[in-house]
Amino acid sequence: MAKKILALFLLFGTPFLAPWKGEENHSNSLKKNVIFMVMDGTNADVITLARHYKGAPLALDSILTGGVKTYSSQSAITDSAAAASAMATGHKTLKDYIGMVPYQAADGKNRGRPVANIMEAAKAKGLATGIVATSPVQHATPAAFSSHTMSRHNMHEIGKQQAHQNIDILLGGGKRYSSVNEGRDVQIVRTKSELDKAKGKSLHGYFAEEEMAYDMDRKKLKPEQPSLADMTKKALGMLSSHPKGFFLFIEGSKVDYAGHKNDPVGMISEALAFDAAVEEALAFAKKHPNTLLIAVADHGNSGLTMGNKQTDQTYAETPAEMFVNPLKKASLTVTGAVSLLKKDRSNLEEVLHLYGLDGLEQRKIRKIRESRDIEKELVSLMAERAHLGFTTRGHSGEDVFLYSFGPKKPAGLINNTDLPTKVAAHLELDSLSELTNKLFIPAKDYYEKRGYETENNIKRDSDAVFVAKKGKTVIEYPANENKRKVNGREETLPGIVVFNGDTFWIPK
């Protein structure tokens, strides 16, 4: 008998033996967290240039693990809405669609139907959730992790959905699009000072009517606003106390804004601000071993290159200083500098100095003064001085870097639709497709099969209400909220009501 036991031990190893009580699946008993970070519109040369500008390694460098394909279902070059929807839901989709995939509706038009995202899956499991961004929090990328609409431009609608998604932490710009869920008691802050003092488990902060300032400009022009690193640290501190763990989405939004302007100073400002936020997130992940950190760009922008036609013959003899020294002369981004320009343009040379463009010839200054688009003139001159090239003022289609740290971290060259699968595996979330079937049921079909008469009461899409009537029972579902009324009595739903202009989708 002893020989048989010994033989089994040698064959199967120690796992054959039962673990001690209290030790079984000890690692699984620890709460699990995910920090999902996106630097919007950031290609490889932006990262390289930022590293040269800093003169030291980036926090991102230590967690580089692969690359990500970014194309959408209709184009080799994606927009932010389709890219973010892919990362949030696992579905490729169309331009402007937020958390939706296309289908042909009963009216014959192509419309979007909502699909569940990983933040909703985390919330369904009882985890805390948070969103941090330097754009309006209703902007395309954060919106795809928290709402469902056929157009990224429906920002008031997105804000209303976010208010009813029971998001614990919501920090960024977009005050003008924000909404309030009357049934929730949420602490609201407006400044860095108020953010620093805030305590508790639920916090919404709106630090600008639209987007927040570029980090370089913030220090001089908007010191009352927190940095992305400030917001990241606060969100992590508050979410870390949740007993079941959390899912936190963070976007460094404005590399993309600067890319659309071809402003290399703005791009560096925001790439370094994002890296500082990564440093905060990485420090947290190292202290909390069950935390998965993912950082990635959603797409490239501008086609920025270190090197242009000026360096056709000299690229082999062009040190890093040739690229970064002109940028370091700027104390404000082009947006920040031009915001200080007087209407009569009498202080133009002061503005040029703030953007690092001293010593220009008078003919160039006259040209700038007469220009209809001063920002465009300034960034063109800066690119020339810094030997930088730009191929577009739009997005670009290259693969982007993947950065990750922690258990079950993604690695290698993957698709953006693979990312939510990695998150779900780490957090042990339910299937997103199963959650979609629970959260988004066609209301008309559901109620008419049960003998109700139905109608869509539409003033405008954001105020639309689905109504089902049977006998003396009247049930109303207002769009973009997590509530319904049964004969006037309000009830809370496990998800939000989505209306795509034709069909209402309601949670089960």
Catalytic residue from among 72, 80, 147, 269: 80
Separation between Cα atoms, residue 209 and residue 175, nearest integer Å = 5
Show the beta-strand stretches assigned E in 6-53.
Answer: 32-39
Q: HEC states along 458-494?
A: CCCHHHCEEEEEECCEEEEEECCCCEEEECCEEEECC
Do 292 and 409 touch, CB atoms closer than 8 A? yes
Do 218 and 225 touch, CB atoms closer than 8 A? yes
Do 331 and 291 touch, CB atoms closer than 8 A? no
55: tokens are 């003169």
Neighbours of 10 (CB within 10 A): 9
Residue 466 vs residues 83, 146, 440: alpha-carbon distances, Å: 31, 22, 14
Asked if 80 is an active-site residue, the reply is yes
Do 429 and 421 touch, CB atoms closer than 8 A? no
Chain position carrying tokens 């309601």: 506
Residue 425 vs residues 70, 144, 286, 344, 408: alpha-carbon distances, Å: 21, 20, 20, 59, 8
Q: Which of 358, 356, 378 is nearest to 369 (CA)?
A: 378
Residue 396 vs residues 305, 313, 392: alpha-carbon distances, Å: 12, 26, 8
Q: Which of 231, 234, 237 is nearest to 207 (CA)?
A: 231
Residues annotated as catalytic (active site), given as ranges: 80
